[in-house]
Amino acid sequence: MPRRTAIPFPTSLWDLLRPRSARRKPPPPPKPAPARRPKPAGAMQQRYESITRDMLKHHGVRVRKWRTGMSGVAWQVTYQDGSVSRLIEAPRPKGPMSAAIFLHEIGHHAIGFGTYKPRCLEEYHAWKFAIDTMHELGLNVTDRVHTRMRESLQYAVAKARRRGLKRIPSELLPFLDVHARG
């Protein structure tokens, strides 16, 4: 008895018009993805991670969210039983700028909320804490970090003046906008 081969049933009229060699064939099975090894963290990245853990633990701060952008916020919640939660949102330290912003937010907790009045003076001391801590830890404080600090404090002082601040603390005089000094 002659051997018969199965002829695939055409799925459309066009399949009948095409020669058999051009008809659809089932796709080959997918190739397994190559195994990826996790990239080992560099020495500097391990150092940033260690500093991050130490700072959070030392100041009793919890990160609510790691931000992807270069901004941050710090706050605390006092509960009815008197307990306090110290919270921040900041970028995960991976370089000088993200480390400075992270340490600035930690600085708000380190110096204490409401310790310095007006609010722009608290911002100054939080930035001072961040820069001083970076120097103490031997982290690179770039020109861009100093620029960010200066621009942030200029904004804080201008905002305080718009809201009616008459006497600028002496620490903040270098951050008065040139046009606003007159």
Q: What is the pLDDT, as a whole number, of residue 182?
A: 46
The pTM of this model reads 0.76
Give the angle subtended at the CA of 76 by the CAs of 97 and 138, to the nearest 5°: 30
Find the mean pLDDT for residues 33-43: 75
Is residue 162 packed enough to be buried (19+ CB in 10 Å), middle (13-18) or exposed (0-12)? Answer: exposed
Q: Which candidate, 65, 79, 150, 71, places its Cα nearest to that of 105?
A: 71
Find the mean pLDDT for residues 118-142: 97
Helix (H) or strand (E) segment spanning residue 124: helix 119-136
Q: Which two tokens stand for residue 161?
A: 């003046």
Confidence of residue 15 (pLDDT cuts 50, 70, 90): low
Q: Which candidate, 26, 45, 106, 40, places its Cα nearest to that of 72?
A: 106
Domain segments of the chain: what residues? 43-50+92-180
